[in-house]
Amino acid sequence: MQTPPSTFTMDFQVHIERGIFDKIASWEWRQFVLAGKSLDIVDNATVGKAKRTHSFAVHECSIDRVSTSGIHYDLKKKGKTQVCFACPSATLLSKFQAALGVAKQSTRGVWTLPPVDFAAQLVSVAASIVETDAAMPSTGVLRSDMSVAVVDAHLTEMQAMYDLEATCASPEALYEHLLDMEAAYVLSPSTTLNFAHTVAKLHPAFYQQQTSSPGLPLKTILGRCPHPKCHQPFPVAYMYAIHIQEVPAISCAHCGGGVNYLMFQLEAMLQRTPEIRAFSKAADGDGDVELRLVLPCLPQDGAMATFLHELKVAFQAEGARGNQAGAAILRQRVNEAIEACFTRPLGHLPYDLVHAMLRQLDFVHKICGNLAYWRHPQVLAASIVRYHKFMHLMAYAPMLVPTADIDLVWHAHQAASPEAYATYCQQLVGRLVDHDDTVPGGDLAIGYAHTFRHWTEQFHEPYSSQAPTHVDDDDKSPGKKSRTPNPFRVPSHDARFYGVDEAATSGAAIPAAIPVAVAKPLDTDLAAAAAAPPAAHDIFVSVIGTPVMDNRVLGLWRLLRENSHVSLGCSAGGCSAVSAYSYSHGEYSYGTIDGPPVQTGQSWAGPSQGGGLYAALGVGGLT
């Protein structure tokens, strides 16, 4: 992001008095624009209606601190005060004073600011946040016991996983490590301290309900053919294809049976519920009868259509023994059994811990690709300040979307002490604030817009330099004013969140930075991009203010699964958003269903207009 030479823009709050007799004072944001030989003050609070309120010749301007306050300054023209403005950050003030000094020294109004190291600019954002918080702490914001040391310890664990991933020769090798971690954790949840345990703590509502009882690991479930007459071991490549790549089907090398993720879910259902029973009046009205529907075996071809056909035939035969009321009860119980099968993932936990670890590795990649920056104490201190403000907003908004810095501290808080995190949430909003990292991209965009708006209204400062792409319905309604003139105000160029929504053009200036994104468009073929010369790449790194759904900051999960079902990120949507388990599994789609998925082409999808087994089994067609 470049600005023309001889231009510098920054934002300050200016003291305003309105009224004729009874003066009403307020502090309002104004943009200070240094351009050539002039210093203009602009009111751009209302979108599209920027208004210049003052204009000065730079050589006539000076800045003096107001003696009664440490953050208020007088902008003077020829020694006379023209404007009083507030600047609680010494870093921002020194930048403005330096630019004003350079402009005053120019003879023809042509000047250029001396170059500043990009890494130093990134850290200056953190410095301004910490300084502002020290000088003007936000009223009513409850602070936790989070510290720089705690977040740094979490970064150490993230770095260990980042380094482990670098040693893996293939995605399958990394997947095998994750399977081993998940197995160790579910076999001994209370004593195993590994990455799987850390990620489990990042699902606080589930973690709070979890028992110490051991469970069946995913490597055991997926590690052999699900067909009952086979059960031969599967290699990791098969498991990876089924579980991560989500192939429509593979053929078992031993029995030839078709296998996909659905077949493992069906196997689990058939083990739990081999038959379904219901009492009914006999079809001829002569007494009572017990209907016993024996569920079909796992289809050899691995096709859900085959299973549904066999189930329908068996249901019609057994349902004919009872009356319509009895058949309806049996039909309902079949639906309930199959819905329970397809609305829960495989494994011991109510979510897929291996998938959760991969999503967390995506975040690990984004952070550890710029690790030297994130380990800077001032960066961590600023991140903690913003985290506390973010959590404060939980009382005002049902869904909030964090930036990378907030998410880092959020993870560290949950991982360091689930008990302390739960206590903090209880003190803050009277409930446990859950953490959901499976929110679809569209919902993230909406949540980010809401967060941006609430942050601006509550703290009178921008949330990030990246304005939301989603516009609230309130803003689109004709004649309806927003609650603030510009709820999505972003900072001026020289007060921006450096590194947000802009490429890091000097990779060498960022220690440990790696190329983590490809130039637009975002769906550029990764293989072709990797083969391109380095000059063809823009480097996007994760910094304070980077929205979690910015896919230009490329993480591991998207590299492994380019056609991922969600735009990965985290939001605070509560436990209900997680337990509803709307899950797209590559070629398979799950959601709230009345019956099992049905095969459509090469993909599985639940019925779009309801029906489910009610339709498949012939509602009202039994006589």
Specify the 3-state DSSP secondary structure of 281: strand
Tell whether the model's pLDDT for residue 508 goes beyond 50: no
The per-residue pLDDT for range 60-74, each reduced to its tens digit, is: 999 999 977 789 999
Q: Is the pLDDT of residue 610 over 50?
A: no
**What amino acid is encoded at 15 in this protein?**
H
Provide the residue type at 328 as one letter. A
Give the mean pLDDT of 435-455.
82
Structural domains in the chain, sorted by start: 7-114 (2.30.29.30), 378-585 (no CATH)
From CA 142, how far away is CA 536, in angstroms rounded?
46
pLDDT of residue 611: 38
pLDDT at 614: 35
Average pLDDT, the chain: 82
Using alpha carbons, list the distances in angstroms from residue 229 to 226, 232, 251, 610. 9, 9, 15, 35
520: burial class by Cβ within 10 Å (0-12, 13-18, 19+)?
exposed
Amino acid 542: pLDDT: 94
Region 181-201: mean pLDDT is 95
The span from the CA of 104 to the CA of 61, in Å, is 9
CA distance 32 to 42: 6
Burial of 27 (0-12, 13-18, 19+ CB in 10 A): middle
3-state helix/strand/coil string of 325-387: HHHHHHHHHHHHHHHHHHCCCCCCCCCCHHHHHHHHHHHHHHHHCCHHHHCCHHHHHHHHHHH
pLDDT digits (tens, 9 = 90+) for 306-362: 999 999 999 999 999 999 999 999 999 999 998 888 888 999 999 999 999 999 998
- Report the share of the chain in percent with pLDDT over 70: 78
Which sign, positive or negative, has the C-alpha torsion 207, 211, 212, 213?
Answer: negative
Asked if residue 202 has pLDDT above 70, the reply is yes
126-144: average pLDDT: 96
List pLDDT tens digits, range 380-393. 999 999 999 999 99
Q: How far apart are CA 183 and CA 335, in angstroms?
A: 31
How far separated are the first and last CA of the chain, in Å rounded? 73
Is residue 211 pLDDT above 90, yes or no? no
Strands (E), 149-260: 250-251, 258-259
Q: Is 542 exposed, middle or buried (0-12, 13-18, 19+ CB in 10 A)?
A: buried
**Lowest mean pLDDT segment, chosen from 494-498, 551-555, 558-562, 574-578:** 574-578
- Give the model confidence (pLDDT) of 557-580 as tens digits: 445 544 333 334 555 543 222 222
Q: What is the pLDDT of residues 239-275, one digit of tens each?
A: 999 999 889 999 999 999 999 999 999 999 999 999 9
Contact (Cβ atoms closer than 8 angstroms) between residue 219 and residue 233: no
Residue 39 DSSP class = E
User: Does residue 600 carry a pLDDT above 50?
Assistant: no
Buried/exposed 30-45: b ≥16 CB within 10 Å, e otherwise: bbbbbbbbebbbbbbb
Q: Which residue has the tokens 């203009």?
A: 40
The confidence band for 554, taking pLDDT boundaries of 50, 70 and 90, is low
Mapped onto helix, strand or coil, the DSSP state of residue 312 is helix
